[in-house]
């Protein structure tokens, strides 16, 4: 099984950089307000992308299964700044049925500590996000593991706007990830388009892309992928949402192909309207 570890562990190396089921975007909570989310997800991978982007089945019927419980909270801290905390509980299983082999690791994954700074507010918003992502004590000597085992500094420029005429929210982001050891830097891009149907149903499509910078094709850190997926969110009232969605890789290189499905609920205290991202209430602008 060890001969496959460099390839299969790429999923763990990038897991800390994948976005949670949903996060607040360019709009910040006001001082004393908050947004919290609890999401459970399951992922499965039995195929991978090679260095040229071709997709193949993992040999010997190998497969990766992941289960996560993500806790995320954002608190309005200052007039122009908020604080975020994310903690995942993760279980990863690697199995090779042809050999009757299976191994599972369970524990806390990568801690996220972050700050978001308001650059512009209103119907259109712009914010700067900075995060420190660090492993929470899991082992990295054998496979499977719960993450890459390295600390990451992540910066993102976030944009969001509401289109009143169509009851639509458009959000986008650009990010830069730098490692304190081992892996090289990366760039990321996010995009989400959300459409309201009536006063309570919000349907979204989202994109997340990640690409390693200045790596060679022969190094295990030279991976990239583009992930897409839908989400359906029901706004019960101004304080509670329930949601479900999925994430799927559209393309990649040197990376496994996981399909992820998630459900969750979010809680908020906010005075924002429904075209100001996930912080919004049912109030029309």
pTM given for the model: 0.91
| pLDDT tens for the chain, residues 1 to 285 | 443 444 555 555 555 555 554 566 899 999 999 999 999 999 998 888 888 889 999 888 888 899 999 999 999 999 999 999 999 999 999 898 888 889 999 999 989 999 999 999 999 999 999 999 888 988 888 888 888 788 889 999 999 999 999 999 999 999 998 877 655 688 999 999 999 999 999 999 999 998 888 654 555 567 788 999 999 999 999 999 999 999 999 998 888 888 999 999 999 999 999 999 999 999 999
The CATH code belonging to domain 2-279 is 2.40.160.40
**Residues 184-208: b if buried by 16+ CB within 10 A, e if exposed:** eebebebebebebeeeeebebebeb
Is residue 42 packed enough to be buried (19+ CB in 10 Å), middle (13-18) or exposed (0-12)?
Answer: middle
The domain ranges of the chain are 2-279
């Amino acid at each position: 099984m060890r001969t496959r570890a460099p390839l299969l562990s790429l999923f763990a190396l990038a897991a800390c950089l994948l976005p949670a089921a949903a996060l607040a975007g360019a709009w910040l909570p006001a001082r004393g307000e908050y947004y919290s989310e609890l999401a459970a997800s399951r992922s499965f991978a039995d195929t991978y992308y090679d260095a040229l982007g071709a997709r193949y089945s993992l040999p010997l019927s190998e497969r990766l299964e992941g289960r996560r419980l993500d806790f995320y909270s954002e608190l309005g801290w200052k007039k122009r700044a908020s604080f975020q905390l994310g903690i995942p509980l993760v279980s990863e299983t690697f199995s090779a049925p042809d050999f009757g082999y299976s191994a599972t690791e369970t524990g806390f994954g990568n801690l996220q500590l972050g700050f978001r700074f308001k650059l512009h507010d209103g119907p259109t918003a712009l914010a700067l996000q900075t995060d420190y992502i660090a492993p929470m004590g899991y082992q990295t000597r054998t496979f499977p593991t719960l993450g890459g085992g390295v600390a990451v500094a992540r910066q993102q420029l976030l944009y969001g706007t509401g289109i009143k005429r169509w009851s639509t929210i458009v959000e986008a982001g650009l990010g830069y990830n730098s490692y304190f050891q081992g892996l090289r830097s990366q760039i990321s891009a996010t995009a989400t388009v959300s459409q309201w149907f009536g006063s309570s149903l919000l349907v979204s499509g989202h994109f997340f892309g990640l690409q390693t910078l200045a790596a060679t094709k022969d190094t295990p850190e030279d991976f990239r992928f583009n992930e897409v997926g839908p989400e359906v969110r029901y706004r019960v009232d101004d304080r509670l949402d329930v949601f479900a969605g999925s994430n799927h890789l559209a393309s990649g290189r040197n990376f496994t192909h996981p399909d992820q499905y998630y459900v969750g609920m979010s809680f908020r205290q906010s005075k924002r309207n429904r075209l100001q991202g996930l912080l919004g209430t049912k109030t029309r602008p």
